[in-house]
Amino acid sequence: MTFTANQIAVLINGKIEGNPDSVVRSFGRIEEAQQGQLAFLANPKYEEFIYTTKASVIIIGEKLDLKQPLQATLIRVADPYTAFASLLHHYQQIKTQQLQGVQQPSYVSPSAKKGDHVFIAAFAYVGDESEIGNNVKIFPGVFIGNNVKIGDNTLLHPGVKIYHDCTIGKNVTIHAGTVIGGDGFGFAPQQDGTFKKVPQIGNVIIEDNVEIGSNATIDRATIGSTIIRSGAKLDNLIQIAHNVEVGNNTVIAAQAGVSGSTKIGKNVMIGGQAGVVGHIQIADGSKINAQSGVSKSIKVPNVAVTGSPAFDYTSALRSQAISRNLPELEKRLSDLENQIKQLLEEKANMSQL
Is-catalytic flag, 164? no
DSSP 8-state secondary structure symbol assigned to residue 237: S
Query: Which amino acid makes up residue 47?
Result: E
Rounded Cα distance, 203 and 139, in Å: 23
CA 289, 214, 204: angle at the middle one, nearest 5?
Answer: 85
- Alpha-carbon dihedral angle through residues 249, 252, 253, 254, given to the nearest 10 degrees: -130
Cβ proximity of 230 and 208 under 8 Å:
yes
CB of 250 closer than 8 Å to CB of 213: no
Question: What are the respective helix, strand and coil percentages of the chain, to the nearest 5?
Answer: 20, 30, 50
> By the 8 A CB rule, do 54 and 34 touch?
yes
| 206 and 180 Cβ atoms separated by less than 8 Å | yes
CA 121 to chain centre: 26
SS3 for 213? coil
How close are the terminal C-alpha atoms of the chain, in Å? 103
Please answer whether residues 103 and 118 qualify as being in contact, where contact means their C-beta atoms are separated by less than 8 angstroms.
no
Q: Which residue type is seen at 33? A: A
Please give the Cα distance from 275 to 286 (Å, whole number).
Answer: 14
Of the residues 117, 157, 175, 242, only one is catalytic, namely: 242
Q: How many residues does the chain have?
A: 353
List the catalytic residues.
Answer: 242
